[in-house]
Structure 1
């Protein structure tokens, strides 16, 4: 990266179930106000805005920020499925790093309907048409069930067949998510659950039960990024920086592999992580805290290996030894993750950014991981967009 990009401010609002949500523009504006207050900056200093969301009409980003000020700055709306928030951050970071602007805002928000994700446009080819055909070629899809969890169920079946992992080990990930979320006032689900409760919840497909799936959630989060010169001129904090960041999509041969693990992004995650480590010179063993995309317990397991947090095929031992939590090798999803904090699609990546920023500042309260100087954020959208951001504490 040619010029250091700092995280000047972050903000989010408590996530909520669709039945208890506020309108998207109110939520989005609330997150931006929180980020501005955190930075100590007025909205009229923002030079570009990138707004990530999935459920909404065009120019929802303008609707969100116009209530804060109609300053004439460019507002770019970003839809990259569940990675929309991180994609907005990727664009904002590029704008600052390149020198196009000195200060940019990334905001993500989502007002989701209740229930499983469904296609909204039935009169045209869907973006996941080839993914679905590849899934059906290798997995017995149940058309009476939502399709999205079946991608991850199939990936779990493939992983278990390949490495011998037990179904109950996936359930331990959901238990850990709730335990971490207990200390997060922004999380939807903070009550503890047991492994048996997870296993006894309604079965969906493969190893997945209902409590191993993230809930539909509404919410918003935001981050302000700027150059070092801008931060110093404006008296902003300079203690957290983006050390490396990448956004990747799929490569040729994906659909011919007939691998559900690859369909849900394991290859993209591995490639993006390799690029991050090579570019930054950081060893994954030096990273103390990670916010990763645990939309289903299966995806958290796959991501441990994709990010290099444990060896290939080593996720079960990693979980059973407690290396994924406090007192272990790396604390994964101290926020509670998507499974317990919630997953408002466009807000997720920026909520992860807020959590990592608070951790590096030492401001995470009861969730604080001791002594962290590097934090990794991983956000994945099927179709595919895989974003990984490596944050560092500046001393």
Structure 2
């Protein structure tokens, strides 16, 4: 049975403590927008997976109660930065498996100001779920007093530079592109435009990554209504986008055995998930028009180019500076501004990617519109580890 996204919604992503709202207020706004977009009522929803990382258990129920008190199953989902895509994947599985005809996938986060620590929900690096990942980094690169997640991706960037000759200007080109794209996104946390020189001149977080190459902490929520073909036909729904292929990959021995931070931050996971998603969709990267990928740090966009098959290993820096990943190029990557500029409320990120791609494939993305977009790809990854790749196709 096929699964379709029938409606999407999201809040604006904002700096924590900017707005006086609670996480259930965010869900009311994003979930209500998704239901309205699908033109259905909440009492037609049969199950609800809800993703978040920083709120207590059953916060999903508290949030969903703002949409209705209908007694349906609500699942609380936490998979670090891949949480939003994981909620979407559960919704798809429920529909494809015949357990439900209409599922609402939700994701939200109400965060604190400042950098993330050693892993969502963990203030103790030794007890962190990603302690093994940090151990690989420390063995090769040491451990500094800068934000640990930034250190991990900075180490991957240095390895990429050493192995392939990737330059700081190529890393900065990723961030400059995404900041430029976000200028046209009213939901983005940041809408200022910077050139490569401005990106490189920003305060250093951990070499070679400056602040403008790092995703911020953010508040926000996003949602998607996932329906079966029979539900869509019964309700005469339009504007559907098919979930043509989707896969999740988690860590294997390769993650840790090589001693490389490129592996530790998940490039092998992304490659494996992409391969499976392509196979299930019967499509390849050559068929994709628009991509929303997990640029938590500029280097991760380069690593993901290679993992998705957009270029050969080591060629991603050249791809970024060639213009192939922006308007007028081969693909448009992160038209929303990506995590770096749109923002990164962990539980909402994967579903916000879905919302952007649905708008693109419907031709509803206004000044961000990718002309003629018919196939989109979302990539959402969390350390610890999970990578979800979703191929979406216009109906």
Whether the 8 Å CA contact 2:254–2:263 is kept in 1: the answer is: no
Q: Larger deviation: 119-128 or 369-378?
A: 119-128
Whether the 8 Å CA contact 1:231–1:238 is kept in 2: the answer is: no
Corresponding residue of 1:133: 135
Q: Larger deviation: 276-285 or 71-80?
A: 276-285
Note the residue ranges of structure 2 that are not aligned, 5 or more in a row. Answer: none
Instruction: Please give the TM-score of this superposition, normalised by the length of structure 2.
Output: 0.97
Q: What do residues 8-65 of structure 1 show as CA deviations (whole Å, max 9, x unaligned)?
A: 1000011110031321110011100000000010000000000000010001111111
Equivalent residues in 2 for 1:289-368 (5 A)?
Answer: 289-368=290-369
Corresponding residue of 2:52: 53
Corresponding residue of 1:18: 16
DSSP 3-state at the match of 2:127: coil
Q: Larger deviation: 306-315 or 367-376?
A: 306-315
Give the Cα–Cα distance (whole angstroms) in 2 for the partners of residues 74 and 369 of structure 1. 37
DSSP 3-state at the match of 2:17: helix
Corresponding residue of 2:115: 116
Instruction: Please give the TM-score of this superposition, normalised by the length of structure 1.
Output: 0.97
DSSP 3-state at the match of 1:88: helix
Give the Cα–Cα distance (whole angstroms) in 1 for the partners of residues 122 and 305 of structure 2. 34
| Pairing 1:384–2:361 present | no
Q: What do residues 153-191 of structure 1 show as CA deviations (whole Å, max 9, x unaligned)?
A: 000011111110111110111111111001110001111
| Pairing 1:177–2:175 present | no
Q: What do residues 310-356 of structure 1 show as CA deviations (whole Å, max 9, x unaligned)?
A: 22211122112100100000000000000010000000000000000
Corresponding residue of 1:271: 272
Q: What do residues 103-124 of structure 1 show as CA deviations (whole Å, max 9, x unaligned)?
A: 1010000001000112544578
Give the Cα–Cα distance (whole angstroms) in 2 for the partners of residues 149 and 96 of structure 1. 37
Give the Cα–Cα distance (whole angstroms) in 2 for the partners of residues 39 and 288 of structure 1. 24
Note the residue ranges of structure 1 that are not aligned, 5 or more in a row. Answer: none
Whether the 8 Å CA contact 1:13–1:221 is kept in 2: the answer is: yes
**How many pairs were matched up?**
391
Corresponding residue of 1:38: 37
Whether the 8 Å CA contact 1:93–1:225 is kept in 2: the answer is: yes
Give the Cα–Cα distance (whole angstroms) in 1 for the partners of residues 122 and 281 of structure 2. 41
How far the C-alpha of 1:369 sits from its partner, in A, is 0.3
Whether the 8 Å CA contact 1:6–1:238 is kept in 2: the answer is: no
How far the C-alpha of 1:141 sits from its partner, in A, is 2.0
Corresponding residue of 1:101: 100
How far the C-alpha of 1:254 sits from its partner, in A, is 2.2
Q: What do residues 72-129 of structure 1 show as CA deviations (whole Å, max 9, x unaligned)?
A: 1000000000011100000010000000111101000000100011254457822111
Whether the 8 Å CA contact 2:49–2:106 is kept in 1: the answer is: yes
Corresponding residue of 1:7: 5
Corresponding residue of 2:90: 91
Give the Cα–Cα distance (whole angstroms) in 2 for the partners of residues 122 and 116 of structure 1. 12
DSSP 3-state at the match of 2:81: coil
Give the Cα–Cα distance (whole angstroms) in 1 for the partners of residues 166 and 122 of structure 2. 38
Give the Cα–Cα distance (whole angstroms) in 2 for the partners of residues 33 and 141 of structure 1. 44
How far the C-alpha of 1:140 sits from its partner, in A, is 2.5
Whether the 8 Å CA contact 2:3–2:243 is kept in 1: the answer is: yes
Whether the 8 Å CA contact 2:9–2:224 is kept in 1: the answer is: yes
Whether the 8 Å CA contact 2:255–2:266 is kept in 1: the answer is: no
Give the Cα–Cα distance (whole angstroms) in 2 for the partners of residues 331 and 305 of structure 1. 15
Whether the 8 Å CA contact 2:179–2:191 is kept in 1: the answer is: yes
DSSP 3-state at the match of 1:101: coil
Give the Cα–Cα distance (whole angstroms) in 1 for the partners of residues 13 and 112 of structure 2. 14
How far the C-alpha of 1:278 sits from its partner, in A, is 2.1
DSSP 3-state at the match of 1:18: coil
Equivalent residues in 2 for 1:181-192 (5 A)?
Answer: 181-192=182-193
